[in-house]
Amino acid sequence: MTRNPAPVAPPVVLTVAGSDSGGGAGIQADLKTMEAGGAFGTSVVTSVTAQNTTGVESTHVLPVEEIEAQAEAVLSDFDVAAVKTGMLATGEVIDLVREKVAATDAPAVVDPVMVATSGDRLLEPEAEAAYEDLVAASTLVTPNTDEAEVLTDIEVTDSASAQQAGEALVEMGADAALVKGGHVPGDDVVDVLVTADSVESVRHPRVDTEATHGSGCTLSSAIATRLAHGDDLSTAVRTGIDLLARAVRYNLDVGEGPGAVHHMVAVRDRAEHQPTVERVAELVDQFVTRDVSPLVPDVGMNVVGATPYAEVPTECAAVEGKITRTLDGVAPNRGVRFGASTTVARTLLAAREFDAELQFAVNCRLDADTEGALDALDGAVAECEATDGADAPTEQAIREALDASGDRPVAVVDRGGTGRVGTVTLLAADSAALADRTITLLDAASEE
């Protein structure tokens, strides 16, 4: 028996850029990011590069007529909802792309690729002037600080000068400019979005890594993809920056160089949601069967599982309503869902800043028995304090306590304060280890 087809119609995004044989940047990064964002990616290859995570070994620019043929093939067949440009290499190619962009009604995101992350030059010096006309035809131009200086003669050293450069790019004709702050020193990365009517700054904590290969391509492709879905510019930019921040933190450790950004990180995160819920539910069943009531705090116990890419409590699965003591032992009040824990999830996420492999946590009663049983655990125990009246220690306090512990932490002790009871939060990289750790504490506490 044959089945009826059920086609889907994602928005189509076109990338005009160079090929990266290393797979981390260029056309390869663009298409991965578009697919991850729910778009159908099409491409016009402008040049072929021999490169990897350590640098660019050679570049071959395709004949302009072959580039034009690719563009015509795509534009004559597909209803392109957004265009993004990357490595264009020569003035002749830039002029061609400007003509194609001007001829379509689709929003165009121009990433003025001039120098690779490795420092290798990807644009002929005489082609820099040609970018002005392409910038004028763009919906958004996304230079880093070096590229912004080349285009505007404004040295970008802070948010104020980034705004000045963005305003200059808008004066050149761009609808908007996103001046990226990754090259500006500081604990935070500040990207500045400038339009004719507004200025927005988007701030993210800097990730201490050199694995940023493909970051510009990924960001511009993510923004173009969201524009193709119909997002307004500010939303598209903020969504793209959020995706890139996570893609840099959970970068891909491939090659002999620093590595590449994780273009598919959002898809991988979504794929981990259901398995994480299932592991938390299994832990709850184990704790009910074993009757861990001696470990349940008066405020209730919660079991939390973070996906490998979780950044905020809403991306952690937990028991809604917690686990509480009953006449027959312990029982969960409701099921497992994402965002059901705040305090325990925050402790786990703070611990993940110290050790990114940690994924599971459970809060336990802190009394004389459990404190005496902590020595039975197989690792470092960190102690932290919270200001009286606060719901829990701050992330900074937890991180400082973990740093002081030195080794991979197995537990964080919060001794409480005025109006707040103390707790022991057990931590583990996998659910089986958390179950073992919890039962070890339970058995050891019963012997105190």
The enclosing domain of 41 has a CATH number of: 3.40.1190.20
Task: Please say whether the dihedral angle defined by the alpha carbons of residues 44, 49, 54 and 55, taken in this order, is positive or negative.
Answer: negative
Q: Do residues 253 and 294 both lie within one domain?
A: no
pLDDT at 117: 58
Q: Is residue 146 part of a domain?
A: yes
My answer on whether 241 and 169 are in the same domain is: yes
d(CA 216, CA 29): 10
CA distances from 35 to 10, 19, 108, 224, 315 (A): 10, 17, 18, 12, 22
Distances (CA, A) of 363 to 144, 299, 301, 343, 426: 44, 10, 6, 9, 6
Both 247 and 386 in one domain: the answer is no
Domain end (from 229, 262, 295):
262
* Residues 281 and 203 reside in one and the same domain: no
> How many residues does the structure list for the chain?
448
Together in a domain, 63 and 81? yes
Q: What is the pLDDT of residue 421?
A: 78
Q: Is residue 3 part of a domain?
A: no
Q: How many domains does the chain have?
A: 2
Written as six digits, the tokens of 97 are 């792309």
The residue segments making up the domain with residue 320 are 272-446
Tens digit of pLDDT at every position of the chain (448 positions): 899 999 999 999 999 999 999 999 999 999 999 999 999 999 999 999 999 988 889 989 999 999 999 999 999 999 999 999 999 988 899 999 999 998 899 999 999 987 655 555 566 667 777 888 899 999 999 999 989 998 999 999 999 999 999 999 999 999 999 999 988 888 899 999 999 999 999 999 999 999 989 999 999 999 999 999 999 999 999 999 999 999 999 999 999 999 999 999 999 999 999 999 999 999 999 999 999 999 999 999 999 999 999 999 999 999 999 999 998 899 999 999 999 999 999 999 988 988 889 999 999 999 898 888 888 988 888 887 665 555 666 666 677 767 766 677 888 888 876 667 788 999 999 999 999 999 999 999 887 6
pLDDT of amino acid 119: 55
In a domain, 214, yes or no: yes
Do 391 and 317 share a structural domain? Answer: yes
> With DSSP H G I counted as helix, E B as strand and the rest as coil, what are the percentages for the chain, rounded to 5?
40, 25, 35
Residue 4 in domain: no
Both structure tokens of 201: 């700054």
- 3-state class (DSSP) for residue 304: strand
- The partner residues of 420 in beta bridges, in order of sequence, read 417
In this structure, the answer to whether residues 97 and 153 fall within a common structural domain is yes
**Prediction pTM value:** 0.90
Quote the CA–CA distance of 233 and 227 in Å, as a whole number. 7
**Bridge partners (DSSP) listed for residue 61:** 47
Q: Alpha helices, DSSP H only, in 336-405?
A: 343-354, 368-373, 395-405
> Same domain, yes or no, for 256 and 284?
no
